[in-house]
Amino acid sequence: MPRLVMKFGGTSVATVDRIRNVARHVAREVRAGYEVAVVVSAMAGKTNELVAWCKDASPLYAQSEYDAVVASGEQVTSGLLAIVLAEMGIKARSWQGWQIPIETSDQHGSARIARIDGSRLDAGFRHGEVAVIAGFQGIHAETGRLTTLGRGGSDTSAVAVAAAIGAERCDIYTDVDGVYTTDPRVVPKARRLERVAFEEMLEMASLGAKVLQVRSVELAMVHRVPTTVRSSFDDPDDARPGTLICDEDDIVEQQIITGIAFSKDEAQITLRRVKDRPGVAAAIFGPLADANINVDMIIQVVSGDGVTTDMTFTVPASDYERARTILDAQSGKVEFERIEGATDVVKISAIGVGMRSHAGVAAKAFRALADKGINIRAITTSEIKFSVLIDAAYTELAVRTLHSLYGLDRA
Binding site: residue ranges?
7-10, 47, 74, 174-175, 180, 185, 210-211
Binding residues for ATP, by number, are 7-10, 174-175, 180, 185, 210-211
Annotated binding-site ranges for substrate: 47, 74
Residues 6+ apart with CB under 8 A from 41: 7, 8, 9, 10, 12, 13, 47, 73, 74, 77, 135, 136, 154
